[in-house]
Structure 1
């Protein structure tokens, strides 16, 4: 599968997911299919980050898309939280922070500290900044928030080693599911919804078959799909509730 195919798959599964969330929230099948979408977007974000020739322009496009998508997102899900592109954009910020090299020799004449202390200071500063970004995501209820960033980092670190990638995704989703296990047993039966998000691991099947090529170019289509499909779903819901 090339990048075009993965993007198309992410759009289709996201549409199914959001259709289920808005119109058929009691039917898990829609949501299970939809769990495939975000990990694919997260994977493609790491690909875009590593391949783009202009990271600032790439991030600017994502920021504009996040701004444009915010009102449709709020209307569709009746929330005040931030849409998923703020999470994806934050993932890029964090990858930049992690990869940023600060050379001791550039500062050693101005700062009278050892290289070891300097390196530790840089690690601490990076850690504090990353914590700040994660706090903001949670504070403003960004879609997927910390969990989403962790998925992005899993792909950044392990996408060249599928075995480690799979294990990291299993471990991450195990940790994500633990707090919800208290809802597993309900008065009227078993609640399998606690394992819903963990089904996102299915996305690895498609990512495994990614061949590294770009495929067809349809940038405008994929950028516009998110806000447009949400507006369409909002309109359909309005018609169903209020009539024409």
Structure 2
């Protein structure tokens, strides 16, 4: 029997792609501020991390360990993040992105518990309350990407799947989150004699391409690789801070 082969990306590949895009964004924020194309590419990183975190929720064998592991790395990452973004050991007005992912996970867990009760009205009410509360807490907590980042997590939860309406829902919802809520720098682009404005944050929608190519395959997996992915976040930020201090001497 002939098997139809599809090109796809594994979970491991998606993690590596997201880490690469994040590194490019942070290089722009520290050592290479003139290279604005780096942060444009970097816009793709967070949606991939958000998607993979949601997938992690459904594939983990122990949710408590998953949450505990993320909490530990959120704490470990806070000082490197503060040094990179605030230039100080304590920068309370902006928290690292793992806190964003943690808030999203807690909200998803609450919605999943309501869904499993098989009471549709209760589930819908819970979704509405969790979405609103998640956006508010993300904004008040000043986590990375604020409430919009938490909403990105919920988008990948509510439109999880490979049906056409899941793809459409992800596309439309992420357009609203990135272009309408986050917005940001606009680039004038000329097409066929007409000038239109392209939203830099809207480039995050391109992250859906590798996300849609992913079909659930794990790929390379080991405990050292898993922890290396977690450790990459604080370690690379600390490395960039050290490099920036060396250059500015």
The TM-score normalised by the length of structure 2 is 0.79
Q: Structure 2: give runs of 5+ residues left out of the alignment.
A: 1-8, 189-194
- Aligned equivalents of 1:34, 1:95: Cα separation in 2: 26
Is residue 2:212 matched to residue 1:208? yes
On the 8 A contact 1:17/1:34 being kept in 2, the answer is yes
- Name which one, 1 or 2, has greater alpha-carbon Rg: 1
Distance 1:201-1:119 versus aligned 2 partners, 3 A rule: closer
Equivalent of 2:125 in 103, 110, 123: 123
Q: Tell me how many residue pairs correspond in the alignment.
A: 222
The TM-score normalised by the length of structure 1 is 0.80
Residue 176 of structure 1 is matched in structure 2 by: 181
- Aligned equivalents of 1:11, 1:100: Cα separation in 2: 31
The equivalences for 1:21-170 within 5 A come to 21-78=29-86, 79-80=91-92, 81-101=94-114, 119=122, 123=125, 131-160=132-161, 161-170=166-175
Q: What stretches of structure 1 move > 4 A for 4+ residues in a row?
A: 126-133
Q: State the Cα RMSD in Å.
A: 2.9
- Aligned equivalents of 2:160, 2:142: Cα separation in 1: 27
Distance 1:184-1:68 versus aligned 2 partners, 3 A rule: same
Displacement of 1:184 in angstroms is 7.7
Q: Structure 1: give runs of 5+ residues left out of the alignment.
A: 105-114
Distance 1:42-1:102 versus aligned 2 partners, 3 A rule: closer
SS in 2 for 1:101: helix
Q: Which has the higher helix share?
A: 1
